[in-house]
């Protein structure tokens, strides 16, 4: 008997690859949905997320209470604050208008800036990619989670605004910007369109935050950079000397939802905003993937 016995040839060995692949194929097909569900659970289970949603919900409540307490006084505030006293449904519109410049970008910047950097800082990034989870799928799932937060945040502001407005003020037909009156249900449908418009407006900021999150392992740095860029974009949009740049700023059409409050509804601003935000999503999404594809997940 020789010391080195011949090992079975490849043809003689029992094939286990085919059975393994057959057993894991269904799991791999369903994995993208499982990964998305895990990401959504991660985003909405965090105390930080609920704290930010609570702060956003407080915006329409504070507006409604402040207007209610000052009813009858000559406050000299904006005209749309006076409209709230005539119809409580205006609380939702007012809260969205107030939240867009600061509160929504702040919360979206926190969520988007934490997408990749948060996983890297906690040391879970390498395990997610070894699962195996492709880097393209990882980026797409993280983007979807941030967009889901945007939608939840805007819907929360609208729903809380309508609820507190109905409690503190009378509800009746709503006069649109075109001067036409619509009933409460018609206005509710338009309010949902407003929420979708605002969610769409945040897509560019989500993409920028995602890219910033791939540049560092420190989530706070990515969050701060995203929020600061949101402020810079709005400041640049107010400078008349840079009017040539305004149409390309991701914040340029954030408040351009007036067409949704006319009769008949015009979707011109909705379409223009969609093209602008999708452009940012494609460009900065590609940059995020390019940076993430070369990222050393073991460092």
Three-class DSSP labels, 102-139: CHHHHHHHHHHHCCCHHHHHHCCHHHHHHCCCCHHHHH
Output 186 or 153, whichever has higher pLDDT. Answer: 153
User: How many C-beta neighbours within 10 Å does residue 101 have?
Assistant: 15
d(CA 28, CA 43): 23
33: CB partners within 8 A, 6+ apart: none
262 alpha carbon, distance to own chain's centre: 26
d(CA 287, CA 292): 8
Radius of gyration (Cα) for the chain, nearest Å? 25
Bridge partners (DSSP) of residue 182 are 174
Structure tokens at 276: 């602008």
At residue 165, does pLDDT exceed 80? yes
Q: What is the pLDDT of residues 231-284, one digit of tens each?
A: 999 999 999 999 999 999 999 999 998 889 888 888 999 999 999 999 999 999
d(CA 298, CA 108): 28
Where exactly are the structural domains of the chain? Answer: 33-293
Q: What is the pLDDT of residues 102-157, one digit of tens each?
A: 999 999 999 999 998 887 777 666 666 655 557 788 889 999 999 999 999 999 99
Per-residue pLDDT, 128: 62
Could you give the angle at which helices 203-214 and 268-293 cross, rounded to 10 degrees?
10
159: CB partners within 8 A, 6+ apart: 92
Contact (CB, 8 A) for 252 and 272 = no
Output 123 or 213, whichever has higher pLDDT. Answer: 213
Contact (CB, 8 A) for 113 and 219 = yes
**CA-wise closest residue to 285 among 274, 297, 277:** 277
Per-residue pLDDT, 170: 87
Q: What is the pLDDT of residues 31-62, one digit of tens each?
A: 557 788 888 998 999 999 999 999 999 999 99
Bridge partners (DSSP) of residue 238 are none
Contact (CB, 8 A) for 227 and 105 = yes
């Amino acid at each position: 008997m020789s010391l080195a016995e011949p090992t079975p040839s490849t043809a003689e060995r029992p094939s286990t690859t085919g059975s393994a692949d057959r057993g894991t194929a269904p799991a791999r097909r369903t994995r993208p949905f499982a990964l998305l569900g895990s990401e959504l659970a991660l985003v909405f289970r965090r105390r930080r997320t609920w704290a930010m949603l609570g702060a956003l919900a407080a915006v329409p409540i504070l507006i409604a209470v402040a207007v209610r307490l000052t009813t009858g006084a000559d406050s000299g505030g904006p005209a749309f604050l006076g409209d709230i006293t005539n119809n409580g449904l205006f609380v939702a519109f007012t809260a969205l208008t107030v939240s867009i410049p600061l509160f929504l970008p702040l919360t979206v910047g926190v969520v988007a800036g934490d997408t990749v950097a948060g996983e890297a800082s906690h040391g879970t990034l390498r395990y997610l990619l070894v699962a195996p989870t492709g880097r393209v799928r990882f980026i797409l799932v993280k983007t979807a989670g941030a967009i889901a937060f945007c939608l939840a945040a805007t819907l929360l502001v609208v729903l809380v605004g309508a609820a507190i407005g109905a409690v503190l003020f009378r509800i009746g037909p709503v006069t649109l910007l075109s001067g036409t009156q619509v009933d409460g249900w018609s206005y509710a449908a338009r309010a949902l369109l407003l929420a979708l418009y605002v969610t769409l407006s945040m897509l560019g900021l989500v993409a920028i935050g995602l890219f910033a999150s791939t540049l560092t392992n420190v989530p706070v740095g990515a969050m701060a950079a995203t929020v600061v860029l949101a402020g810079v974009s709005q400041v640049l949009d107010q400078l008349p000397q840079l009017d040539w740049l305004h149409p390309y700023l991701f914040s340029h059409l954030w408040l351009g939802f007036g067409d949704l409050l006319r009769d008949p509804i015009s979707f011109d601003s909705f379409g223009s905003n969609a093209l602008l935000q999708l452009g940012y999503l494609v460009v900065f999404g590609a940059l995020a993937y390019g940076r993430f594809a070369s990222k050393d997940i073991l460092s």
